[in-house]
Amino acid sequence: MEDDFISKKELLELTGISYGQLYRWKRKNLIPEDWFIRRSTFTGQETFFPKEQILARIDKIIHMKDDLSLDELADMFSPNLAESMIMLEDLIKQNIVSKATLDLFAQHFGITADAYPFQNVLYAYIVERLLVMGEMGLEEGRGLLQVLDSHYPAFQGKPCELIFVRKMGVSAFALAPRASELYFDNSVKVVSRLNVASCLEELKAKLLK
């Protein structure tokens, strides 16, 4: 438990940022409200953060704030999907998705447009990631696209996790609210668990470059 969380004080000491910066970033929505966790300690109430997430986030903010304004950064970290349309050729040009994924994508959505909403591109990016990791076959990617397309909108930008399991060679995908504990029978192998919010951040970062 203690390893997973870090107190505000420790965080500032570790990262070298000031209280003012932390509060400014909170105001600018660079750090989500629900990462500020209040707990009582023997000295009274203190604020804790999920350690891994906050350290990764602060690292990103510090390294990117010279290139991007705070508002642009906030936009990047925002779980709400960007409203912009993305040109498919940009995806290929910037090496964000491969031709194979794009073909799959085109088959699923029916190829007509040159540009797709950000949300759909996110699906392609997630498929691409699993393909690149070598854990998923092309045919399975088709199923994944279907799951994302029909169920991801229901989360309305709230954090969620993609779970990819296989049982006796048959694969299945599920979307679950983040940090939920799931139990499977013994013959189920959890191939991969993917935090959709961090995929989204990665994709936004790549597109902004």
Interface residue list for another protein (CB under 8 A): 8-9, 13, 18-20, 22-24, 26-27, 43-45
Query: Of 40 and 186, which CB lies nearer to another protein in the complex structure?
Result: 40
In whole angstroms, the minimum distance from the beta carbon of 30 to another protein comes to 13
Closest CA to 175 of 133, 143, 138: 143
Q: How far, in Å, CA of 123 to CA of 86, rounded?
A: 13
In whole angstroms, the minimum distance from the beta carbon of 18 to another protein comes to 5
Closest CA to 121 of 86, 71, 90: 86
What token pair was written down for 95? 């090496």
In whole angstroms, the minimum distance from the beta carbon of 22 to another protein comes to 8
Query: Of 12 and 106, which CB lies nearer to another protein in the complex structure?
Result: 12
Query: Of 65 and 206, which CB lies nearer to another protein in the complex structure?
Result: 65
Say which residues have a Cβ less than 8 Å from residue 130's Cβ, sequence separation at least 6: 136, 141, 144, 164, 192, 194
In whole angstroms, the minimum distance from the beta carbon of 162 to another protein comes to 31
C-alpha distances in Å from residue 38, one per residue of 7, 44, 168: 10, 10, 44
